[in-house]
Amino acid sequence: MAEGKNYLNHETTIWSWLTTVDHKRIGLMYLFTISCFFIAGGVAAILMRLELAKAGGDLVAPDVYNVLFTLHGAIMIFLFIVPGIPATLGNFLIPLMIGAKDVAFPKLNLLSYYIYLVGAIMALLAIIPVDWISAWLPEFLTNFLTWLGLSGPADTGWTFYAPYSLETGSSVIWMTGAAFVLGFSSILTGLNFIVTIHKLRAPGMSWDRLPVFIWASYATAVIQTLATPIVGISLLLLIMERVFGVGIFNPDLGGDPVLYQHFFWFYSHPVVYIMVLPAFGVVGEIIPVFSRKPLFGYKAICYATLAIAVFGFIVWAHHMFTSGLSNASAFYFSLATFTVAVPTAVKVFNWVSTMYKGSISFDTPMLYAMGFVFLFMVAGTTGIYLATLAVDVFYHDTYFVVAHFHYTIQGGAVIGLIAGLHFWFPKITGKMYNEVAGKIGWVLVFFGFNLTFLPQFVLGMNGMPRRYYDYPPEFEWLHTLSTIGALINGIGYSFALLNMLYAFIWGKKIAPRNPYKSLSLEWDTQSPPIHENFEETPTVTDYPYAYGVPVKEAV
Amino acid sequence: MSEHVASGPPHVHHMDAKTAYSAAKLGMWLFLATEILLFGGLFAGFAIYRWQYLSEFAHASEHLNWKMGALNTAILIFSSYAVVLGVDAAQHGENKKVKKWMLVTLLCGCGFLVVKFFEYKSKYEHGLFPGTVDHITNIAFNSPEFNAQYKMFFGLYYCMTGLHALHVIIGMGIIFWIYLLAKKNRFSTDYYTPVEVGGLYWHLIDLIWIYLFPLLYLVG
Amino acid sequence: MFRYLPEQASEIAPKIDWINNLITDLSVFFTVAIVGVMIFFAIYYRKKDGVDHETPQIKGSHTLEWIWTVLPTLVCIYIAYYGVIYYQELRYVPDDAMVVNVVGQKWNWSFKYENGKETSNVVYVPVNRRVKFLMESKDVLHSFFIPAMRVKRDLVPGMYTYVSFTPVMTGEYHVFCTEYCGQDHYDMTAKLKVVSQAEYDEWVNYKEDLSAFTPVELGKKLYTGKGCNACHSLNGKKIIGPSFLKAYGREVELESGEKFKSDENYIKNSILAPNSQIVKGYPKNQMPAFEGQLDDTQIGNIIAFIKSLDGSQAIEEEVLPEKSDVDVTKLTPVERGKYIYQNKLCVTCHSLDGSKVIGPSFKGIYGREGELQDGTKYVVDDEYIKSSILKPMSQVVKGYPAAMPPYEGQLNDDDIAGVIEYMKTLK
């Protein structure tokens, strides 16, 4: 670790961590917490895959399986990947990258963390299988849990579709409540970032000099702030519906279950961009540094980021092409969905062009970034199938959607997060991780991931529906492959995370200020940074990608 | 949220007073946007079913007491006026006046809640309550005229006014906190951010009610 | 490349597959091209010997940005256009389409044809004729999906939805529920059987040819078809309700003490509103009212059937539900148990959702503890289930009527093992 004081050692008590308003420490606390949930969600996924490895029920009962995929979805979405990059790398990097001392509202930042924790605890309560274990519990405890409205683990899937969510076990109230509270935390984080980026940029840091990660975080924050309230109110209405029987989603009372889907996807489609836009930002930071080239088409990438954020709001009902939409609205939502494909393609073209005539080195972050480009190509092109009306009718709610979604969110957002963690690891910890181990981790993750989900595309093409506990025997070999892939993928993630954890705690190799000779601001302070970020406020004179030797006709 | 912007620089002097002021205002405006979207979902739901069940909603609405609603509207509009005077006083550094107007606002908030309480009470006694109401015998819901759509109207009525009342309570908390700051003479011509952003929040509460009142009480 | 779609069994399938395959080809091309270029750059411009070489500061190119904005846009518009056109075709229903009513209910599909014939979990349609499945849900969301036909639509409670297609290949195809609907969502499947028009006509009209049957025969069909046989024997044995043997003209005494001879009116009334005239010594509220479920002709047929049981013919053995073509020995134990549950009329008295019908619900039954009528304690284990099936009267649970017929001689050990396995899954 660098000489002298830094944000990690200037105070060391646990209390100083729990009450910190330092964005860097809050970022690390988030990272620790979401990693725990990543492991929990991963275990649920592995159990599910093991059950599906062979046809027939062999590991768990059908209702347990239903709980597993609900937990996997709800934990991974609400507790892991929505806070994912924004709350960890975003918290850590946004002030550093724009040359600020902290976010605009540091206390609010800490408050969002604790609101997140409250939501997490509510979600954990909803997981307790009260009905199943009541025989082994002391009676008062069972009574207390029942009194809280807990019955068994929520089993609705992470989408909480009415009317099933209105009639199944009452724990679903706690799960939706948790999602509501977590949404509130997300709103406050987004709001904080928007104000920070608007108001706290260092002298000379104009909008056209912002790193693309900041652009991505800004677009993400806008979505967090503007889309989350809608899911908040729909989850609140779902709770009201269950508690008071209001009736607006309940067909028995004249309500409309499809309305719930509209409300839900109005948030939950944009939320996909909350997950993946920051990953775009991470990749946009990594590729120029390891290519020693300016980011190709910086402005185009920034505009594309904003375009995706805006278009993301007007395409939600493409999740509902088979739900009873009128033809006219189905046409509109199909066409609108294609508008998202274009800016996404533009980004990919620009990333690859950045490497042209570069001086490319293959450090672990770069490998993840290049892997990301491939995975996201698959994710993006399979998205085209699902945007195409007649074809989506076939693929809707099959394994094709499952695979597409995981290529986007795991191949996109999670790989982006892991890439970013490797890239900024020296800055965050002041240490260097073992490069060889990092690369082995990458191989396992990349290979395992593709082995898990490529067969699922084929399953979907064969018509295998999702959320099935059992399936016709002709699908078996693909499921077996997928399960093997999932195990390798799980080992890969464990390997990569343990490698970093080991280096953080026991690592000997000290990171210099700027190990990659990057030009962006966060490298312009010691590693790890001091509590106040910079010794003195930096002044910015150029955008952060001016690598290489100037040429005349540059745009 | 205004607490966090206003109680001064937290762990480092990470921005100057002018930036802090404009950051707080931007933050509050964004927060208000999220609040409007939150209620927007309810308004959208109400609009859809109002359109679908036109006459049922109109009839159900007749069971609301528009006079009480109007009284509450007047109370909230007056409270907003009080807040404006409070902000003006803060900008001139007159802490005593700030205290006075915050107290008036608080009283208005209490008045609003009291009226609301009596409205809810009377609805409950008439059995106009969503959900399982089997234990109430003289309820109008049992008559064939009171079908599911009536329940839905009252369900939405309780959700919308209930969420709004919750905001009134939170708003009163913020106003009370401003009152305490004024008591400590914290405001001056250079520093009045909490009054300003707290006031913005209170205006929003007022504004939402101004939409709720005609929508729920006067649709018939 | 990558052609994995199921057989093209409907008229629209080749069109949808065409656009699907076009997307596949374009996707593979662009992915290979872009990733290929990336890998080429990575290798060709790699940093050599650990030393950075000089790189040009190329910041971008307007021309390229335009090209790769416009080009994907055009491709997208082209694909979107055909997606919309074929979707329209998918949703179009000609007036002469054959209508099949579909009801989705946790976790069963039932189908009703134009002539009133009903089937569950299997549906027959004639080949080369446009069909429209008009669908409604009785509980939660479901979704009706036939991969081979490329159709799918959600069933939304409170509204009718439909799918429509023209099958062009005879054969048997999967039908899946694709909207998660709770515990046995995965098991909510059915078979679509596409047959020739002639076969279809024969099949669909098979039971409809009423003139071929006498009223007595029709009444007998109703006796098994509507589940009367669960409670009313034909051999004089008392199961839950009175036996049908010599039921016509029999002297009955009601709970009220009223006595009269059973006649057509009494039988009819007992079918439509059973609880109004309970025979002394029999439990109340056991028989469902058939008001609205049977028409006058059907009631007439049942009466004719009961009249025929005057003891003149040899007393028949218990009439069991019609044999089906299912070979239970080929099923897994759990499937076999479920089959027996549905076909041996367990379903009449034992619910799966925890509600009390006549007997205790099967939900979570395995391992349950409680008290019998005689006060002894019991635990539901293999032994208990077995003896409850074979000799139900020996151990009736407290609070339940002694109403179950003994299945001794009707189920073999494998059947019972299947039922036990099935019960274990009902948590």
Domains defined along chain B, listed by start: 17-217 (1.20.120.80)
The alpha-carbon gap from C128 to the nearest alpha carbon of chain A, in Å, equals: 21
pLDDT tier, C320 (very low <50, low <70, confident <90, very high otherwise): very low
CB A153 within 8 A of CB A212: no
pLDDT (0 to 100) of residue B35: 92
B-C interface (Cβ pairs under 8 Å ≥ 3): no
Confirm or reject contact between C84 and chain A (CB < 8 A): yes
Higher pLDDT, residue A419 or A325 = A419
DSSP letters, A219-258, are HHHHHHHHHHHHHHHHHHHHHHHHHH---SS-GGGT--HH
Q: What residues in C contact A352, CB-CB < 8 Å?
A: 34, 37-38, 41
Average pLDDT over residues C315-326: 50
pLDDT (0 to 100) of residue B11: 43
Task: Return the residue of C nearest to A166 by Cα.
Answer: C140
Average pLDDT over residues C380-396: 81
Confirm or reject contact between A198 and chain C (CB < 8 A): no
**Which segments of chain B have a pLDDT < 70?**
1-14, 127, 129-148, 220
pLDDT tier, C319 (very low <50, low <70, confident <90, very high otherwise): very low
Beta strands in C366-405 (DSSP E): 369-371, 377-379
Can you say how many angstroms the Cα of residue C373 is from the centroid of all Cα atoms in its chain?
A: 36
pLDDT (0 to 100) of residue A479: 95
Q: What residues in C contact A554, CB-CB < 8 Å?
A: 57-60
d(Cα A349, Cα A358) in Å, to the nearest integer?
15
pLDDT (0 to 100) of residue A162: 84
CB contact under 8 A, C88 and A470: no
DSSP letters, C206-272, are TTT-GGGS-HHHHHHHHHHHTTGGGT--SSS--SSS--STT-TT-EEEBTTS-EEE--HHHHHHHHH
Chains linked to B by 3 or more Cβ pairs within 8 Å:
A
CB contact under 8 A, A388 and C179: no
pLDDT (0 to 100) of residue B4: 37
pLDDT (0 to 100) of residue A144: 85
- Residue pLDDT, tens place only, B57-98: 887 788 888 888 999 999 999 999 999 999 999 999 889 999
pLDDT (0 to 100) of residue A147: 83
Higher pLDDT, residue B59 or C34 = C34
The alpha-carbon gap from B185 to the nearest alpha carbon of chain A, in Å, equals: 23
For chain A, the average pLDDT equals: 91
pTM for the whole structure? 0.80
Does the structure show a pLDDT above 60 at A411?
A: yes
- Tally of residues, chain A: 555
Q: What residues in C contact A385, CB-CB < 8 Å?
A: 20, 23
Confirm or reject contact between A329 and chain C (CB < 8 A): no
Q: Are strands C189-195 and C122-126 parallel, antiparallel or unpaired?
A: parallel
The alpha-carbon gap from C309 to the nearest alpha carbon of chain A, in Å, equals: 45
Encoded tokens for A501: 């954890």
Place of tokens 């059950």: A51
Confirm or reject contact between A157 and chain C (CB < 8 A): yes
Encoded tokens for C305: 């059937």
Does the structure show a pLDDT above 60 at A95?
A: yes
Does the structure show a pLDDT above 50 at A555?
A: no
pLDDT (0 to 100) of residue B186: 86
Q: Which of A200, A226, A243 sits opposite B33 (nearest CB)?
A: A226
For chain B, the average pLDDT equals: 83
A-B interface (Cβ pairs under 8 Å ≥ 3): yes
List of residues 6+ apart from A235 with CB closer than 8 A: A160, A176, A177, A179, A180, A183
pLDDT tier, C314 (very low <50, low <70, confident <90, very high otherwise): low
The alpha-carbon gap from A387 to the nearest alpha carbon of chain C, in Å, equals: 8
pLDDT tier, A361 (very low <50, low <70, confident <90, very high otherwise): very high
Higher pLDDT, residue A152 or A1 = A152
- CA triplet A29, A31, A210: central angle to 5 degrees? 105
CB B76 within 8 A of CB B219: no
pLDDT (0 to 100) of residue C167: 95
Among C139, C165, C131, residue whose Cα is nearest residue C150: C165
Q: What residues in B contact A247, CB-CB < 8 Å?
A: 130, 148, 151-152, 155
Which of B21, B26, B29, B30 has the highest number of chain A CBs within 10 A, making it the mutation to test binding with A?
A: B30
d(Cα A376, Cα C42) in Å, to the nearest integer?
18
Q: What residues in A contact C82, CB-CB < 8 Å?
A: 388, 390
Average pLDDT over residues A67-87: 93
CB contact under 8 A, C334 and A57: yes
Question: How many beta-carbon contacts under 8 Å exist across A and C?
Answer: 297
Q: Which of A102, A199, A248 sits opposite B45 (nearest CB)?
A: A248
d(Cα C19, Cα C241) in Å, to the nearest integer?
61
Q: Are strands C377-379 and C171-177 parallel, antiparallel or unpaired?
A: unpaired
Question: How many beta-carbon contacts under 8 Å exist across A and B?
Answer: 140
- Residue pLDDT, tens place only, A498-534: 999 999 999 888 888 899 999 999 998 988 999 889 9
The alpha-carbon gap from B197 to the nearest alpha carbon of chain A, in Å, equals: 14
- Residue pLDDT, tens place only, A155-175: 888 988 988 888 887 788 888
d(Cα C258, Cα C6) in Å, to the nearest integer?
67
Q: Are strands C189-195 and C171-177 parallel, antiparallel or unpaired?
A: antiparallel
The alpha-carbon gap from C407 to the nearest alpha carbon of chain A, in Å, equals: 28
Task: Return the residue of C nearest to A357 by Cα.
Answer: C45
CB contact under 8 A, A225 and B159: no
CB contact under 8 A, A257 and C157: yes
Q: Which of B14, B42, B148 sits opposite A100 (nearest CB)?
A: B14
CB A394 within 8 A of CB C15: no
pLDDT tier, A351 (very low <50, low <70, confident <90, very high otherwise): very high
Confirm or reject contact between C41 and chain A (CB < 8 A): yes
Q: Which of A300, A359, A546 sits opposite C52 (nearest CB)?
A: A359
- Residue pLDDT, tens place only, A238-286: 888 888 777 788 887 778 889 899 989 988 899 999 999 999 999 999 9
Q: Which of A300, A327, A360 sits opposite C60 (nearest CB)?
A: A300
Confirm or reject contact between A229 and chain C (CB < 8 A): no
Among C244, C235, C237, C225, residue whose Cα is nearest residue C298: C225
pLDDT (0 to 100) of residue A241: 83
Confirm or reject contact between C88 and chain A (CB < 8 A): yes
DSSP letters, A175-199, are HHHHHHHHHHHHHHHHHHHHHHHHH
Encoded tokens for C254: 């009601």
Higher pLDDT, residue A139 or C355 = A139
Higher pLDDT, residue B128 or C280 = C280
Supply the DSSP symbol for A553. Answer: T
Higher pLDDT, residue C391 or B93 = B93
Alpha helices in A430-475 (DSSP H): 435-462
The alpha-carbon gap from B145 to the nearest alpha carbon of chain A, in Å, equals: 14
CB contact under 8 A, C152 and A356: no
- Residue pLDDT, tens place only, A204-223: 999 999 999 999 999 999 99
The alpha-carbon gap from C387 to the nearest alpha carbon of chain A, in Å, equals: 26
- Residue pLDDT, tens place only, C160-197: 999 999 999 999 999 999 999 988 899 899 999 999 99
Break chain C down into helix, strand, coil percent, rounded to 5.
Answer: 40, 20, 45
User: What residues of chain B, 63 to 122, have a C-beta less than 8 Å from chain A?
Assistant: none
Q: What residues in C contact A251, CB-CB < 8 Å?
A: 156-159
Segment among A448-462, B13-27, C354-368 with least mean pLDDT: C354-368
pLDDT (0 to 100) of residue B10: 42
Average pLDDT over residues A90-106: 93
Higher pLDDT, residue C408 or A421 = A421
Q: What residues in C contact A470, CB-CB < 8 Å?
A: 186-187
Confirm or reject contact between A548 and chain C (CB < 8 A): yes
pLDDT tier, A381 (very low <50, low <70, confident <90, very high otherwise): very high
pLDDT (0 to 100) of residue C313: 66
- Residue pLDDT, tens place only, A129-152: 887 777 788 888 888 888 888 887
Q: What residues in C contact A372, CB-CB < 8 Å?
A: none
Confirm or reject contact between C56 and chain A (CB < 8 A): yes
Domains defined along chain A, listed by start: 14-553 (1.20.210.10)
